[in-house]
Amino acid sequence: MRKQKAEGSRQRAVGGRKQKTARCFLPSAFRLPPSLRCANGFTLIELIITLTVLTILTMGVIPLIKVSVKRQREQRLRDDLRMMRMAIDQFHREAVAGVQVQQGTPPPPPDPRIRVMITDNTIFGVSNPDRYPPDLETLVNGVSVTPLAASGGGKIVGKKKIYLREIPVDPMTGERDWEIRSTYDSKDAGSWGGENVFDVRSKSSATALNGEKYSDW
């Protein structure tokens, strides 16, 4: 009899210790009063509240992440367009400078952006008297140039100048395929005339965050 009572007392003591060590790890703001909370862990209400809060936070964060990713892609597109247009303009300036020197025409006012002149006239066809690059690959492959002003009376050694490291990938389409316009194409032309490369644009018709079309940038 005494042995049974001792065994029962021991089991009750062990059970009491387990109840004391069981805790709920929710923030105090989401905990229920002890009278409504199970001593063994989370209650169903606490779990529902936690899941609801996490769902609300997730639904609020996902749209912000999407907008942030889209804004980064738009900035990449602006940077790529600016880089290619600057390369096209620099090529044109140095090509025109080469023609003026070869024809012996009076030089224009000094332009600090021009230090060499393009001497490879084979890349300019009859249909491209404006001296813009015939294609984007020419900017990557480079052309023969010589210094615009030689010093010391020595022999002028020609070099090859590269205007564009590579044709960038359009971040909106994922392709190295750009909408090209020549000096003879209208703004809304449906295709490239092929005479030269006067401007480049994205082929994406999607709408930017500012409401404009990427193809209009």
Tell me: the pLDDT tens digits for 112-122? 888 888 988 78
Calpha distance 155→142 (Å, rounded)? 22
Question: Nearest CA to 136 among 186, 217, 192?
Answer: 192
pTM above 0.85, yes or no: no
Position 155 pLDDT exceeds 90: no
Q: What is the pLDDT of residue 54?
A: 85
How far apart, in whole angstroms, are the C-alpha atoms of residue 34 and residue 161? 79
Say if residue 164's pLDDT is above 70. Answer: yes
Mean pLDDT of 163-181: 96
Strand partners, 180: 200
Q: What DSSP string runs through 85-127?
A: HHHHHHHHHHHHHHHHHHHTPPPPSP-TT--EEE--GGG--TT
- Residue 20 or residue 113, greater confidence: 113
C-alpha angle with apex 89: 86 to 93, nearest 5 degrees?
135
